[in-house]
């Protein structure tokens, strides 16, 4: 089984014959694969959410890696109390 690495390019014909294998490799490695026709990139196959398969971390744990900053005070909510009452 072939292994595709970061910035790997594969021809449309080769991709057609090894489609499932390439998709599994992208899923497993998280690295995109460029699909070419006559040497020009016509498509790029990449994981849908940018995460590597098997990443068992919770979404908020993955968000922490992005270095974001929480601008709300402790206990502060983006929703009003009336919004919660309306949902009941």
Strands, sheet with 40-45, edge to edge from the N-terminal-most edge strand: 8-11, 33-37, 40-45
Task: Show pLDDT as tens, one digit a residue, over the chain (88 residues).
Answer: 455 444 688 999 999 999 999 998 888 888 889 999 999 999 999 887 645 556 667 777 777 777 767 677 777 777 777 777 766 6
| pLDDT attached to residue 14 | 94
The domains found in the chain, sorted by start residue, are 1-47 (3.40.1620.10)
Residue 28 pLDDT: 84
DSSP state letters, 29-57: H---EEEEETTEEEEEE--SSS--TT--S
Amino acid 10: pLDDT: 92
Output the pTM of the full model.
0.49
């Amino acid at each position: 089984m072939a292994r595709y690495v970061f910035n790997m390019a594969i021809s449309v014909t080769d991709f057609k014959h090894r489609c499932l294998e390439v998709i599994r490799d992208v899923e497993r490695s998280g690295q995109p694969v460029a699909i070419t026709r006559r040497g020009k990139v016509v498509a790029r196959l990449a994981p849908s959410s940018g995460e590597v398969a098997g990443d068992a971390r919770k979404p908020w744990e993955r968000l922490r890696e992005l270095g974001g900053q929480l601008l709300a005070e402790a206990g502060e909510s983006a929703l009003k109390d009336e919004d919660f009452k309306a949902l009941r």
